[in-house]
Chain A
Amino acid sequence: MSKELLSINESIMSRLRKLYDECVVQVNEVNSLMIKIVNNDIALKHAQTIYTISLYLVKHRRTFVLESSTSNIDELFKLVENVGSYISMIQESELYAPIPEPKPYKPLNNLVDDKVITYINNPTPLCELLINSALNEGAHRTSGTLRLSIMSKALTTSNGFEGFERGSEVVAYLRAFKESSSGHWAYGSRFVDSRSLEEVGKRAAQYAVLAKNALDVTPGKYDVILSPLVVGNLMELIATMASAFYVLTGFSIFMDRKLGDKVAADSLTLADVPRDVELSSSTAFDDEGVETYDKEIIGNGVLKNLLHNCKTAAKLNTSSTGNAGWISPRPWNISLMPGDASLDEMIKEVRNGLLITNNWYTRLQNYVEGTFSTVSRDAVFYIRNGEVVGSTGRVRIADNLNKLLNNVVMIGKECYMIKWWEVTVPSKVPYLLVRDVNITKPFD
């Protein structure tokens, strides 16, 4: 496989070298199977074999990005010729830096779980495990997704970098219903772990079953425990805002901050962890051939790193952090360092608060100031004097990301590997307790 993809890279590169000053060729192949579960039934089996060729081309400091999801190389070269005609018409790139000189990189091992290949051919046992683990906990219906993938990438640069990786991924999430209540859990990793997959169904069902005794809460400030699903969603937003491209284009709370600024509670450490092979975007090299490394974005509450490719790094007089993206750097995998609290200890700490188990639709009024809201879905538990006393209907967190980061007071000691519809960057995250979170509901 590696030879096959790299030879495609080389054949494309040999044609490109004559035309451009600098080139990067990346070929990706994804074989995936997704099973969609609806109302305890198999609603869809979705298989993809997708082959993508991406090119980064530079001529006279003008940059071009081409992407081709086609098996027809001639079609790709029509685009190459097409953009070649633009060279004299456009300016030097606002963000240009030479492709970095290739350096050796330490490969990551054990990125493929053979069980993923086995289950791609027969996903039935995992589907049954997901559904039955929820039904056995008392759910009356379940919906969700199981996705199994084998992904290969080959990267070649015109100045001599050559890299290949092949990895697996399993993503499972399930929403369990008990009458009008629901719960949700998710798992995402490179590895099939039956216990974790069983936990997806169990936890989803446990939340659905526990979410009874509906109580009304009035809008106002509450101490809020955020589940790993919610933490994953919000930390993905924060980590993405650490992309220097987002900072440069006005989509980041870090736009007005400097490295070393205090941006969060002392206990909070958020990191980009491309070297964590349990998480499915782990990679040894980025899209510019730079070796990846794990790095803190926020370390003990202090802004430690923005995420860079070589172009944003050149613009901001620093070095690449191995997070390219040819245009925008991005986090590979996210890790929020665990604390020492159990969920029960967090609940005991809350006098008047909520446990929000899942959220969606996070949107911002102002990316620079961090004003945002997000809506709960699935179980929300009402906590009084250290005890769960019932559940509430859907509520909304409407607050500020800076304030939220600074008001974290307890961090769970166990991290969960989460990936699903609302957490797209693979994440290892715990429960968090945050003080004085603004909760809203419709006025009418």
Chain B
Amino acid sequence: MSEDLLHYVVDYALSLGAKYAEARYQLDETLVMILRNGRLVTLGRSVSDGIGIRLVYNGVLTFSATNKLERNDLVDAVRKAVDRAKALSHLVKVPVRFADDEVCRGSYEVKALKDFEYVDVEGKVKLLGELHNSVVNNVKEVKIPATYCEYLEHVQRKLILNSDGGFVKGEVPRLSITFNLVMHHAQKGSLQRLRQWGASGGLELLEVWKPKEALEEEVGNLERVLIHGVEPPKEAVDIVVGSEIVGLMVHESAGHPMEADRILGREAAQAGESYVKPEHIGRFRIGNEYATVVEDPTIPGSFGYYEYDDECIKARPRYLYKEGLVNEPLHNRYTASILNTKSNGSSRSMDYANEPLVRMSNTYLKPGDMSFEELLEDVNFGVYIKSYMEWNIDDIRWNQRYVGLESYLIVDGELRNAIRNPVLELTTQSFYSRIEGVDKELKFYPGTCGKGEPPQGIPVWFGGPNVKLSKMRLGVLRYE
């Protein structure tokens, strides 16, 4: 993509009277392989490139996207954007403006240690087929009616230019694997596990993840849960929540409610609003001293990695909750201007065809210094919930639910019998106020976070340590 073409778009928009103009060229290339029961169904490739143009004209924020990249097509897109903004401007009550931020010129790039060509397609299919074998060969009494595997290589390139002097180049390769298995027992019914691996980088990640070994270990445990798992205790007990669930919880109940566009109502009809109100920032206590949630796009190798956001603002770690206080929301330049602050570099878009929104990147609960064994040692009778399948949270990010998959009873500080389907259903304040201990094992998990209209899915990590919560009741899945 020629940089001149982006300059031309921005200059042309300004010449028509736009107060702000931004042109973002984005290229997304993927290779995907889909397997059923270890056999390849299909191999797919995709390429998507085009320009997203964002303007502020007469106080109206407009976004146009096109993948017709001739100069005439771009002129047409800009002119139409301005014309429609003119037509709508009388409906606008509060003109859009951006915070007076320091926009940057810079670049970032993730270099794969082993690029995607390091192993050929045949080798990749063989490896993915072995994941199925690692499941069926490591169960004893159950059947595996189906496995499903999706392997994705993704390279994203961005070239962003705006009328405030910003200019950013970015390139990030990402790798992810999604694996679904169904386990069935004639008397005990079925159990399902959806497991994901994802990060930025190349094929060296496979050596870190060791997905075959990970599945071999996990299916044995899941088989025990299905066959021998009992109902969780009915009384209130200590609960140790595994890092996989803690990560999801902080994503859902710290990351999302601290997106400033939600706080201001811009997602009200889509992803919802937030229990956090502008006056809560820096004042409202959501939890105790353990409740520190960090959002950091700059973690090397992370799934949500970037150094500059899509408005050319330098990325940095943000402390969403700090020692129990609602602290710093995620901002773009628009939300920052409304709340009289500066952007903290949270503007991301899925592809060229969609507007940049306030998004998370990598969100985690701050770990402590205990070992997992030390975290358990004070628990006389409790439950450890290691993984999950079902979860959800309400639209203001307050009422949340997680249903455990691999779970165990804790007796006298040790893991004992398997527990089936414990239900953790609590409020955001309850979770962050009940934390009694966190271990030092910070682990991250990948996800695709959805938001906006049209809906945009973007890669994120969420993580945390294992967390001990004070006594509370667990629910049970039982339907008759």
Q: Could you list which residues of chain A lie within 8 angstroms of chain B, going by C-beta atoms?
A: 33-51, 62-72, 75-76, 79, 82-83, 86, 89-91, 93-95, 121-124, 127-128, 141, 143-145, 147, 173-175, 177, 184, 248-251, 255, 326-327, 360-369, 371-377, 394, 396, 398-400, 403, 421, 438, 440-444
The residue of chain B having its C-beta at the shortest distance from the C-beta of A63 within the complex is: B42
With A361-B394, A366-B190, A398-B423 given, name 15 new contacts (CB 8 A).
A41-B94, A45-B84, A45-B85, A47-B84, A65-B43, A70-B50, A83-B43, A93-B41, A95-B36, A95-B41, A250-B147, A360-B272, A377-B272, A441-B425, A444-B426
> Is A38's CB under 8 angstroms from B61's CB?
no
> Is A94's CB under 8 angstroms from B41's CB?
yes
The 9 listed contacts between A and B (C-beta, < 8 Å) are A48-B66, A65-B44, A91-B40, A121-B84, A361-B393, A362-B392, A371-B390, A442-B399, A442-B426
Min CB gap B331→A, angstroms: 16
Q: Report how many A-B pairs have Cβ atoms within 8 Å.
A: 296
> Is B182's CB under 8 angstroms from A255's CB?
yes
Min CB gap B57→A, angstroms: 10
B279 within 8 A of A: no
> Is B40's CB under 8 angstroms from A363's CB?
no
Min CB gap B40→A, angstroms: 5
Chain B neighbourhood of A35, CB < 8 A: 88
> Is A82's CB under 8 angstroms from B45's CB?
yes
> Is A40's CB under 8 angstroms from B93's CB?
yes
Give bound CA distance, A249 to B39, whole Å: 12
> Is A45's CB under 8 angstroms from B61's CB?
yes
> Is A67's CB under 8 angstroms from B44's CB?
yes
Give bound CA distance, A327 to B63, whole Å: 33
> Is B427's CB under 8 angstroms from A444's CB?
yes
Min CB gap B2→A, angstroms: 13
Q: Could you list which residues of chain B lie within 8 angstroms of chain A, going by C-beta atoms?
A: 34-37, 39-50, 60-70, 73, 77, 80-81, 84-85, 87-88, 90-94, 96, 120-122, 125, 145-148, 180-182, 184, 189-192, 265-266, 268-272, 351, 353, 355, 389-395, 398-401, 403, 405, 421, 423, 425-427, 430, 453-455, 472-475, 477, 479
Give bound CA distance, A438 to B65, whole Å: 45
> Is A46's CB under 8 angstroms from B67's CB?
no
The residue of chain B having its C-beta at the shortest distance from the C-beta of A48 within the complex is: B65
Chain A neighbourhood of B426, CB < 8 A: 442-444
Chain A neighbourhood of B122, CB < 8 A: 89-90
The residue of chain B having its C-beta at the shortest distance from the C-beta of A400 within the complex is: B479
Chain B neighbourhood of A184, CB < 8 A: 269
Give bound CA distance, A322 to B174, whole Å: 35
> Is B84's CB under 8 angstroms from A367's CB?
no
> Is B389's CB under 8 angstroms from A69's CB?
no
> Is A42's CB under 8 angstroms from B392's CB?
no
Chain B neighbourhood of A376, CB < 8 A: 394
The residue of chain B having its C-beta at the shortest distance from the C-beta of A120 within the complex is: B84
Min CB gap B276→A, angstroms: 15
